[in-house]
Amino acid sequence: MEILLDSANIAQIRALLPYFPIDGFTTNPSILSKDSDDVKKTLTQLLELSDGKRMIHAQVTAADTAGMVAQAKMLQDFLGENFYVKLPINHQGLRAIPLCREAGINVTVTAVFTPMQALMAAKAGANYVAPYVDRLDNITSDGVKVVGEIVELLATYHMETQVLAASFKNVQQVYNVASMGAQAVTVNPALCEKLIFHPYTDKSMEDFEIDWRQKFGAKEITDFLQ
């Protein structure tokens, strides 16, 4: 499963990259408006952090098909082959999907809330569809269940489109969509940290340290090999 960071906070991303197996970054207009005062600089930094291998998913701000495609081409020129344009699942976005794909631009369809939206995006040629898990939960729906239905529906029709689940508030939601077969998730940096946390892991390491030092003092295990 691919794990992406849903953030444009460069400092937080830099802090995580040496440790976590991150496959890319996702942004949207809200994230950039919160995390960036200079969008070009932020995108340049994301490009540098992508290291020629991590994906960058960035959303257009145009509302019409022609504008979406034009912006997608400019973003592709700027961000390179690992760029994925995020398009909405509406009339204009649906029309833009095949036009972007024909231009050699990868597409992620965003703000997906139903399996049929995902199926239509897949039929139009989207590389990824991004269902919003917690937002569905907030309207008394079941976000994890919807992700599972999307995964199953796309598999039934042998669609190549992959599911990039988004909008998470806790680790349990991430685990649940992983169990449902989602091919990718995008999480904010704080939640990414929590993916590996368990208090008994820390307690176990502390116990190991205490037992070792009580027996062997300052020696390390490799000191016994000399």
Say how many Å lie between the first and final Cα of the chain, rounded.
Answer: 42
Name the DSSP class of 166: B
Contacting residues for 179 by C-beta, under 8 A, at least 6 apart: none
Q: Which residues are catalytic?
A: 86
Beta strand residue intervals within the chain, DSSP E: 2-6, 24-26, 55-59, 83-88, 106-112, 128-131, 162-165, 184-187
Alpha-carbon span 31 to 13, nearest angstrom: 13
Cβ atoms 46, 26 nearer than 8 A: no
The three-state DSSP-derived secondary structure of 106-164 is EEEEEEECCHHHHHHHHHHCCCEEEEEHHHHHHCCCCHHHHHHHHHHHHHHCCCCCEEE
Side-chain half-sphere of 18: how many Cα atoms within 13 Å?
Answer: 4
Alpha-carbon span 5 to 87, nearest angstrom: 18
Alpha-carbon span 95 to 206, nearest angstrom: 57
